[in-house]
Structure 1
Amino acid sequence: MKCTQVSRAGRQRGRRITRPLPACLLLALLASPALVLAQEAAPDALTVQLQQIRGMATGGQRAQAIERYNALLLEHPGNGDVLLARGRAYAWDGQYAAAESDMQAVLSKSPDYADAWSALGDMYRWSERPQQAAEAYSRWVALAPQDPSAHLARGRAWRDAGQLADARADFDAAAALGADAAEVSALRESLLPRMANPDVAAPEGYRWSASAGWDHTGFSGDRESWNDADLSLRRHFKRGSLALEMLRADHFGESDIAWALDGYVPLWSRAYANLRYQHGPSDGMLPRQAWRAEVFQGIGSGWELSASVDNLRFSDNTEFYGIGIGHYTGNWYGRYKIQHVPGVGSGSWSHRLLLRNYYSGDGDNYLEVSVGNGRSTDMDRFGTVVRDNNAAIGVAWKYYFAPNWGFKLGAGYADDDGGYDEQRVSLALYTRW
């Protein structure tokens, strides 16, 4: 390449003066292919600023980041990348209406912008709108069908919406596309039903489970302690499970044995039932007959309603009617249940509140705390033992130390309505195959 400059004097004289110039050399260097590629690869000033501000937003400086995005939008009105970045920052900050406005503005101009559909889905999921999240993620999947992240995101939204079959299909698709095996395995496990009684569930692949439990209750004063034990063998089917149980109660120096069938069956969408029948001695501490029917119905995002009837037959029949409400959010589950026993006057009432944390993110391992008062059937003790406490509190820890072996430890205290204080400890061992 030849660089020339023609001076005014040269033009006047009709002469052409040629000499190298620094600017000319610079143009020659820029024309080289290597430098052109390097120049194209270097981020522009706006990209650098967006990266810096994103670092602020993810580092906890969200208000400052949003102010910076506002300033950038004054310089670059309507820029889709800046709007999307600000929308994400709004979503991280919990300002969901503002986030949705920014993201929808981007998508109205660029409906094929996959990252914007991803961000919109995240925002809907974080604001507990799983159905809308799944719809947004579906647009992402349509635009990037080979991206396992899109299928994982939509699978989580389906799971949150209670559509477990759709969630499983997306997790399977992500696995086939090369998603991390450990992540997919954990997500598949998260589809296990987290029931009011999680001990009756088993991961996919297990058809049988068994448990053995021991329960010791000591009393204040001179009242003799109680010892209870139970054995359970449960068959897990593709839909539901059925257990055969043997129960032994050793109270006041006498022992009783009862047998029970305990089943969980799916009903319609997001509904299942617990049906139980127990047969005991003709006269003793355990009822001669007992049965329960309880129906659970999922509603909204993570909510679950329940209604139950318990019938216990000792010398005469006693019935308990219960209504419960539970809520799942992340790895937490909380449930309140009220029971009523008809009788003289207004009858009697009981209240039970339970809070559980699935600390490993699966259905196997959890910590829980329960409090209550009043006359009720105790769900932790065969579901047929009548409790009558002024106040009660209990804690439990369940842990699977191997894929098919686990245990549960429990402790509790109660102010018995008969004037005694109760101290309770329990141990249960679980296995499955």
Structure 2
Amino acid sequence: MKTITGKRFSLTLLLLAGVGFFSLLSAQTFEEAKNLAFNGQRAKARAICRTILAKGYDSDVATLMGRTYAWDKQYDSARVVLLEVLVKSPDNSDVLSALADVEYWNDRYPQALEYCNRILAKDPDNQSVQFQKARILNTADRYDEAALVLEKLLQKNSANSDALRLLEKVRLELIKNKITINYTYDYFDNAAYKKEPWQLIYLQYSRKTSLGTVIGRVNYANRFGLNALQLEADAYPKIGENDYLYLNYGFSDMKIFPDHRGGFEWYHSFPRSFEGSIGGRLLHFQGSKGVIIYTGTFGKYFGNYWMSLRPFITPGDNGTSVSTYLLVRRYFSDPQNYIGLRVGVGSSPDERRLLLDGPNLLAHLKSQSIKVDYNHIFSNRWILNTGLAYANEEYWSPSELRIKTGNVYSFELGFAYLF
């Protein structure tokens, strides 16, 4: 009897030792998986997670595996793994937070907020989730709500630097009014333009409304001793969660501006930080028929970089003209701080200098241009914008009755005040 009891006791010890060894091994292996995941080796981390899960369920391991899918932008796979964890642990705040990140990165803001709210319903003072919710609200342009969440967070922890920085950005977005003055100086090195500079100044007022931003602008131009004014208005009405319009109309009774100009464009935000648009421009000069120009954009955010491509297609009696512009911007702390580079082939109706060329707008047969600009906000109120540009353009020389090439050097300086 003693022998049997001793054997059973020894077997129990062996089983306990085995379980303890497996638990220790699993813990060590899980730490290895985390280290691999945080160092960018996410496929290897997932392989280790699968090995652990094959021996027994572990919510932490499954949550890590789901997050690695999300970090690799495999959002559908991340949902499958994380929702399985949620079924077994409906109140697991780690998996709810992970699912909120998945939906946020996939531009599904209502779903992301729903997961945050489920955590905060049981743990209203969870500061990391409060910040997560505020970040989602800010990205979704729900600035009033984001400010309320951040202010509540900072009442509990006034030293939270991330919350302070985000609240500063949110309050900047809550400013409704903006006045801008901008000056552009263009120097031509060709005889056809008598080497006289063109100067353009505009003063504009913009206001954010619940329907979108509206802008009023007065343009003043000086060219060859001639002065001209143009009145212009823009609007950016929102028509859905991921859609807005660009509307433009301008009027002038002075010949170096179009007597009428109009613009329409429909913008749509796609998943994974893509954006596209389609629309057109209409220009009508005194004594000539109108010009219709078709355009659109296709762009994407790559981290802090924005890249977009915009063509302009102009049908005409002598065939169809196509111009293309590539824009790259590198954003810094917020959307008001950036440096940009634009390169183009052909003429753009959005280039205000060219609109001073009256009905000879399309006389610039070929054009290559490059522009660098810099935008910076000071004291959360003042914005500086400056730019340098160079263009090499073909133009029609009336005196020589032939096409020639000339260079244009441009300088731009603008200031804006927010209130």
> TM-score, structure 2 length as denominator?
0.75
1:173 corresponds to which residue? Answer: 149
The alpha carbon displacement at 1:119 in A equals 0.9
Aligned to 2:268: 298
Structure 1 partner of 2:392: 415
Which residue of 2 is the match for residue 59 of structure 1?
A: 39
The one-letter code sitting in structure 1 at the alignment partner of 2:124 is P
Partner of 2:16: none
Q: Secondary structure at the match of 2:307?
A: strand
Deviation (angstroms), 1:394? 1.9
Distance 1:84 1:398 in 2: 41
Matches within 5 A, 1:51-130: 51=31, 53-75=33-55, 77-130=56-109
Determine if contact 1:400/1:407 at 8 Å carries over to the other structure: yes
User: What are the superposed Cα offsets for residues 44-66 of structure 1, whole Å, 9 maximum, x if unpaired?
Assistant: 84666645542342233434433
Structure 1 residues 315-365: Cα deviation after superposition (integer angstroms, max 9, x where no partner): 2133232231243525433333333334215443322232223222x2312
Give 2:297's match in structure 1, choosing from 321, 325, 335. Answer: 325
Letter in 1 for 2:100: G
Among residues 225, 235, 238, which one is paired with 1:264 in the alignment? Answer: 235
1:129-155 C-alpha deviation (Å, 9 max, x unpaired) = 545434443433444333243243244
From 357, 360, 364, give the equivalent of 2:336.
Answer: 364
- 1:234: which partner in 2? 205
**CA-CA distance at 1:110 after TM superposition:** 0.9
> CA separation in 1, counterparts of 2:385 and 2:80?
48
1:174 aligned counterpart, secondary structure: helix
Separation in 2 of the partners of 1:155 and 1:381? Answer: 42
Letter in 1 for 2:199: D
Is structure 2 residue 396 aligned with structure 1 residue 424? no
In the alignment, the residues of structure 2 paired with residue 261 and residue 319 of structure 1 have an alpha-carbon distance, to the nearest angstrom, of 18
What residue in structure 2 maps to residue 254 of structure 1?
225
Alpha-carbon distance, 1:109 to partner:
0.8
- The one-letter amino acid paired with 2:151 is A
User: In the alignment, is the contact (CA less than 8 A) between 2:308 and 2:326 conserved in 1?
Assistant: yes
Q: Residues of 2 paired with 1:69 and 1:316: CA distance?
A: 71
User: Which consecutive unaligned segments of at least 5 residues does structure 2 have?
Assistant: 1-22, 396-403
Alpha-carbon distance in 1 for matches of 2:220, 2:342? 23
Change (3 A) 1:357 1:168: farther
- C-alpha separation between the residues in 2 aligned to 1:78 and 1:155? 33
Q: CA deviation at 1:128?
A: 4.9
- Kindly report which structure 2 residues correspond to 1:374-389, keeping only aligned pairs within 5 A, or say none: 374-381=346-353, 386=361, 388=364, 389=366
| Structure 1: gaps of 5 or more residues | 1-43, 193-201
**Cα deviation per residue 1:70-90 (whole Å; 9 max; x = unaligned)?**
343344x11212211232234
Q: Distance in 2 between matches of 1:324 and 1:155?
A: 32
In structure 2, the CA distance between the partners of 1:208 and 1:70, relative to structure 1 (3 Å rule), is closer
More helix by proportion, 1 or 2?
Answer: 2
One-letter code aligned to 1:232: L
Q: 1:237 to 1:110 in 2, by over 3 A?
A: closer
1:207 matches 2:177: yes
Deviation, 1:382, is 8.2
Partner secondary structure for residue 286 of structure 1: coil
Following the alignment from structure 1 to structure 2, what is the Cα–Cα distance between the partners of residues 383 and 364?
A: 27
Measured after TM superposition, the shift of residue 247 of structure 1 is 1.4
Question: Which amino acid counterpart does residue 307 of structure 1 have in structure 2?
Answer: G
1:105 CA drift (Å): 1.8
State whether residues 323 and 346 of structure 2, in contact with CA within 8 Å, keep that contact through their aligned partners in structure 1. Answer: yes
Which secondary structure state, in structure 1, belongs to the residue aligned with residue 96 of structure 2?
helix
How many aligned residue pairs are there? 371
What is the identity, as a one-letter code, of the residue corresponding to 1:176? Answer: K
SS at match of 2:90: coil
Q: Which moved more, 1:300-309 or 1:176-185?
A: 176-185
Give the whole-Å Cα distance in 2 for the aligned partners of 1:341 and 1:66.
52
Deviates more, 1:365-374 or 1:85-94: 85-94
Tell me, in whole angstroms, the C-alpha distance in 1 between the residues paired with 2:103 and 2:270. 14
Letter aligned with residue 69 of structure 1: C
Letter of the aligned partner of 2:184 in structure 1? Answer: W
1:393 alignment counterpart: 370
Output one character per residue of 1:207-226: Cα deviation in whole Å (capped at 9) or x when no partner.
34121313223335775142
Q: Alignment partner of 2:316: what SS?
A: coil
Moved more, 143-152 or 82-91: 143-152
- Structure-2 change in CA distance of 1:140 and 1:84 (3 Å): same
Q: Does the 8 A contact of 2:144 with 2:174 survive in 1?
A: no
Q: Which of 273, 279, 285 is 2:246 aligned to?
A: 273
Q: 1:290 to 1:123 in 2, by over 3 A?
A: same
In structure 1, what residue type is equivalent to 2:227?
D
What one-letter code is carried by the residue in structure 1 that aligns with 2:414? L
SS of 1:377 mapped into structure 2: coil
Task: Work out which of the two has the higher radius of gyration on C-alpha atoms and give 1 or 2.
Answer: 1
Aligned match of 1:307 in 274, 279, 283? 279
1:4 is matched with none
Alpha-carbon distance between aligned partners in 2 of 1:339 and 1:190, rounded to the nearest angstrom: 34
Shift in CA distance, 189/333, structure 1 to aligned 2, threshold 3 Å? farther
User: RMSD of the TM alignment (CA)?
Assistant: 3.3
Closer, same or farther in 2 for the Cα pair 1:293/1:260, shift >3 Å? same
1:370 counterpart SS class:
strand
- Give the match for residue 31 of structure 1: none
